[in-house]
Amino acid sequence: MFDLNALMITAFYAFFGIFLMLAANRIIDFFIPGDFGAEIKRGNRAVAWLCAGSFIGVGEILRAVILSPNVAGAEMGFGPGVVSSFIYAAAGIVFFVLGFFLVNGYYRKFSLPEEIMKGNTAAGILVFGIFVGLALVISGAVH
């Protein structure tokens, strides 16, 4: 049977997820020197990998929050579920930025921001892995 309420909740979370993914990308762009939009337009694959990692990472965290019976379950209701989604997405963004800078500090022989802005695809893939790995850990802790 068709459930209009479930469809509306699905649509809300889809748009909310898109908003949070774009916000995460903008925040990460703020902390990492360079202009992601201009770099992608220029064909910078390293920045594209970084952005893809942030989108996948935030999406995975939101998925875990939405599915978690402990966080956004039916007993909490819609409003608290949205608040939980926002809080955990924000925590994910904070950990993405911290993880980026911790790894950047670990690899002292080069600067991740500089390498990414130069188009070093390997650096972009490394950051992609950082973001996805952190998202898996965070989503596992949520669930």
- Rounded to two decimals, the pTM is 0.82
Q: Which SS3 state, helix, strand or coil, does residue 86 take?
A: helix
Rounded-to-integer distance, Cα 93 and Cα 135, Å: 9
Rounded-to-integer distance, Cα 37 and Cα 43, Å: 10
Rounded-to-integer distance, Cα 77 and Cα 118, Å: 47
In the numeric block, the tokens 């337009």 are attached to 41
pLDDT in tens, 79-138: 777 888 888 888 888 888 898 889 889 988 899 999 999 999 999 999 999 999 999 998
